[in-house]
Amino acid sequence: MRISVIGCGYLGAVHAACMAKLGHEVVGIDIDERRILELSASRAPFYEPGLDELLKDVQETGRLSFSTDVSAAAGSTVHFICVGTPQKKGENGADLRHVDAAMEALLPNVRPSDLVVGKSTVPVGTASRLADLLSEYQPDAHLVWNPEFLREGHAVEDTLSPDRLVYGVEEGSEDHAAVTILDEVYSAPLANGTPRLVTDHPTAELVKAAANSFLATKISFINAMAEVCEASGADVTRLADAIGMDDRIGRKFLNAGIGFGGGCLPKDIRAFMARAGELGADQALTFLREVDSINMRRRTRVVELTRELCGGSLLGQHITVLGAAFKPESDDVRDSPALSIAAQLQLQGAVVTVTDPKALQNAEKRFPELQYEPDLDTAMAGADTLLLLTEWQQYKDLDPFEVSERVNGLRMLDGRNVLDAAKWRASGWQYRGLGRP
């Protein structure tokens, strides 16, 4: 099948490559020339495990091309909209400018019976509005909302073998012509047993908002428990292990630490609250405000704990922050708690060095005032205190004996609770976790 993918960021670039991998003929379209040049040369414009290899692999088959010209979408049967929906400046709501611009540019290239398939995360009601727009231009074309649930760092496997596929079609009818076409697009994962749900437009849009809100709530729940553990001398990691053994609760997404960040969870829960307010259902989501505050409080807590570890003052303390990305296996620093903590410490007088295996270039653009060092050993040399804020494997593997020879002070704040506290303490370190005695 011929497919166009509009928007080649974290979502669209992976989607385009994966659709070509599934055997389709795909054109990826983006207005960013540099991004398109990189992708055309089989280089991912961001770090995502396996994506470079996949791009190379599918481009050799001739099934994947890239363009900055939206008219390259003409002739495709399915047009995926994969552009970003960032938070509006100074407001909680989602900024839909890119979605609207993509739709407007795409419309002249849509033929009767084509599908326009939205994958971006949008406020409920957007799909119906776009469907009306589409039917004005091309009454026989269909608009589907097909939310994407991929996680950065696992984006390729999540796209090729998703947990589920959700098709939001008009009226939510299983017999809708669009269902047959999308089933053909996803025939490989469907044949492998991926469940597929057909819903109406608003339900499909809400599935995504609800899923991300649930995940954010789960993380803030355990971080709230971490606060209580800190006040009572209990250990949140053992608490999470114990409650996670109940199947109804589950251990995943119960890792207490510095909280969630990234380009999705924080802005998605805020946009969801804003949209609920517009719909007159704001009371239903007031708990998300608490989820957001618990999350932001973790950052302040880490700054305070670091000050305690440093003997009461941050002034002139040499602090090395291990990790800048919002999570490991990603170079994404959007709303990264690690970077926001590093910047706070620096503002309060500490001399901060940040290291990360992949995210330093992006970090430098966002916080140019911080000092960055790509080499881990050099970054740690002479540090008074170490903060592990993104749980990259190489940081989890650090040997406290070896590290003690490089640093100036034996103080470790483990912001992700991933180190063996007993081992670090036995090596003479003052170890602090979050929500742990």
Question: Among all residues, which ones are annotated catalytic?
Answer: 264
Interacting residue with ligand UDX among 59, 212, 320, 385 (CB under 6 A) = 212
Nearer to ligand UDX, 198 or 254 (CB): 254
Q: Does 264 bind ligand UDX (CB under 6 A)?
A: yes
Q: Does 149 bind ligand UDX (CB under 6 A)?
A: yes
Using CA atoms, how far residue 113 sits from 33, 135, 238, in Å, is 30, 11, 55
Gap between the Cα atoms of 339 and 234, Å rounded: 28
Q: Does 219 bind ligand UDX (CB under 6 A)?
A: yes
Closest by alpha carbon to 416, among 269, 307, 261, 287?
A: 261
Gap between the Cα atoms of 227 and 297, Å rounded: 10
Nearer to ligand UDX, 355 or 417 (CB): 417
Gap between the Cα atoms of 148 and 119, Å rounded: 6
Q: Does 257 bind ligand UDX (CB under 6 A)?
A: yes
Only segment of 26-34, 93-101, 135-143, 212-220 that touches ligand UDX (CB under 6 A): 212-220
Backbone angles phi, psi at 289, to 5 degrees: -65, -40
Instruction: Report residue 398 as tokens.
Output: 């650090």
Backbone angles phi, psi at 177, to 5 degrees: -55, -30
Only segment of 42-50, 60-68, 260-268, 340-348 that touches ligand UDX (CB under 6 A): 260-268
Nearer to ligand UDX, 253 or 289 (CB): 253
Closest by alpha carbon to 79, among 56, 108, 54?
A: 108
Pairing type for strands 196-199 and 64-67 reads unpaired
Q: Does 327 bind ligand UDX (CB under 6 A)?
A: yes
Shortest approach of ligand UDX to residue 326 CB, angstroms?
Answer: 4
Q: Does 354 bind ligand UDX (CB under 6 A)?
A: no
Nearer to ligand UDX, 274 or 338 (CB): 338
**Residues in Cβ contact with 365 at an 8 Å cutoff, skipping those fewer than 6 apart:** none
Shortest approach of ligand UDX to residue 387 CB, angstroms?
Answer: 15
Shortest approach of ligand UDX to residue 32 CB, angstroms?
Answer: 21
Number of residues that bind ligand UDX (CB under 6 A): 20
63: alpha, beta or left? (left if phi > 0; alpha if psi -120 to 50): alpha
Q: Which residues sit at the interface with ligand UDX, rule CB under 6 A?
A: 148-152, 212, 215, 219, 253-255, 257, 259-262, 264-265, 326-327
